[in-house]
Every structure is written in structure tokens, then in C-alpha cells.
Structure 1
Amino acid sequence: GKTQRSIDVAAHAGTTFDGQHLFQLAEDRIQKIDPKTGRVLATIPAPGGGGDSGLTWAEGTLWVGQYRDRKIYQIDPQTGAILRTIESNRFVTGVTWIDGELWHGTWEGDESDLRRVDPRTGEVLERLEMPPGVGVSGLESDGGDLFFCGGGRSGKVRTVRRPKRGSATGRGSEIPVDSTRK
């Protein structure tokens, strides 16, 4: 499509919207931006100090992925205070919420997956494995049943359909994704 408008602000590895303001990761900080004027209204520290890898809004708070330290932080959007830390056993490459569920992308070596995790405990509830060699370098949802995954060096964005709730996959499932739409 055609660019309708752009906002000239520093940007790094994540953008989210709370319904009124944009929030943008910019190296070691998160900027709160007025989308009408493009003006930065406030800045809080990013929990990863520049190593952050994804940003989403849910439950009135910001959720930030941290790549190398393999963590997801829930933070107060006013102060930047860390409210909760979730550990992962793989590099965190993106975070998103969909229908009250926290999902994050991983990528390590030749393996990548999308994971639904319990936001209170960090327990992995569901995994969608990508085919070998398909990396996930960012994650967003359409608010419905689709995930959009950045493809790293491939320059592609892949679409992955979320499994239907109540299907045979159930809780704790691992689902290989053998085809992705390009």
C-alpha cells in the first residue's frame, strides 16, 4: 500500500498502541508518542538497556521482550518499573497478546517457534514449531487468529494461523508448522 503518514522518531525493535498513544522502543528507552503530532510525550527506561526485542500492550501495561537474556518483562508505562519477569529457555524475538493470551517468538540456531505462555508463571502452554531454517525475528497478531512473523535475514513476513481453541491440540501441545503463507 501507499504510505499515508510517517512519524519521525527514533525507532529500534518494537512498537505498540494503547488505544491513545504509540509506544516505541528506541535503544535504551521507550518513548510515549502522540500519534496525531508525532511529539514524544514521555520517556521511560527500556528494561534491556538496548537489548530489547519486542513490545506489546495488554492489561494496562507494557510487555517487553529481551533477546539475549531470554526474558519478557511486564512494566509500568508511567514509571518503567518492572512489575513481572518471565524467563524463557530460548532467545525472545517478539511478544504479542491475542484474546487474553501472551505469545512470544523464539529463534536460536536453526530452530524457531511461537509460544503461548502463562503470564503469571511463564509456563509454556503451547508451541507452534517453525520448519528448520525458518527464523522468527518479530511477532505481531491481527487481534484474531493470525500471527505475523518477521523472517530475519530472509526479508519475508510470514503468516501463521493460530490453532482454534478447544481443538484436538489442547493444553501443552506442540504443533509443527509445515507450511507458511508468504
Structure 2
Amino acid sequence: MRKFGFSSLAMMSGWLFADLLLVLFLTVLSSSAGGNPIPIPTESATPSPSVSPSASVSPKPTPTKKPCAQSFELRPQQIIVDDISLSGLRSGNTAARNRLKQVVQKEIRERKLQNQFAGLVLAFGYAPNANRTLARAAALEAGQMLKADLPRFERIQIREFSFETSETNRVRLDVYFFVRC
């Protein structure tokens, strides 16, 4: 009979913990997969035609739309706005806001995205090393401006980030659009 030492017992308990964690993860993932399951239609027996003494017309059933779950495209549309004043964008400068709006509208037209609604925007502000706060505030302002000024962006959720780089006066928008049903 082989005796198990402390190290093999610890290893077995580690694997057991990892397995239990995996089961917990899969359980949570499957329970939050979204909403109620779509019912599967069952075939019912159709009544055979019968002769009735009264002639009555039954109304035709109206066709129903299939339910559609909204989801995002997995790859974002990346829009980069160069040569934009981050401090002007942060303070609500009209020229900076118009520049951002023009570039976004141009990119949407060129990529033929006019009929899609945006759902999530990750906004990145690029600034020199000392101005992280300015870059993040400008990125947030860019997202809020899109939400307020462009109808296809009115329902977006915004997350702002900043990059400390040598590149300045740049905003990058990663836009996740809803998938059409």
C-alpha cells in the first residue's frame, strides 16, 4: 500500500479546488446566459374540416415576429481622431466638438454604418506623461458628446481610459454596435 505524503495531498486538494472553481464558473455562466429560453413550437393536430349548419368566417391569425435578442458585434469599429485639442474637448470648445463629430460621421458614412445603433463606446485619450487626468476627462467628454449629439449613439454606455504616450491630441473610440436581427 502506498502512503501519500503532504505534498501529494496538497496537490490533490489543489486540483479538487480548481475543479470546484471550474464547476462554479460554468454554473454562473450558464445561469446568466440571458433571459428566458425561447419556447420550441410543438405541432398540434389540426382539426379536420367539418360541415356546419351556419356559415361563419373565422379571422386569420396575425403573423408574429420572432423574438430577437440584442447583442454586440465582437469586433469594434475603431475611430481615431488626430489633431484634436484635448483641453478644448474637455472644456466644451465648439471647434473641438465639431471636429470630433465630423470625423465620427465621416467614418460612419464610409463604413456604411448609418443604420446601426451603437451600444458601447470605449474612449481612449492620448496625452503626454503628465496629463493623464486631462486625457481621461477628454475621452469621457468625447463619449458624452457622441451620446448627446448623434442619434445613433443615444443609448451608449461609455468607458473612458487614458494612455500616457508621446503622442498628443488624439482620441480613439472603439465603438461596439448592436447586431441587427
- Category of TM-score, reference length = shorter chain: under 0.3
TM-score, normalising length: structure 2:
0.20
- Would you tell me which structure has more helix in proportion to its own residues? 2
Q: Which structure has the bigger radius of gyration?
A: 2
Which structure has the highest strand share of the two?
1
The one of the two structures with greater contact order (alpha-carbon pairs below 8 A, sep at least 6) is 2
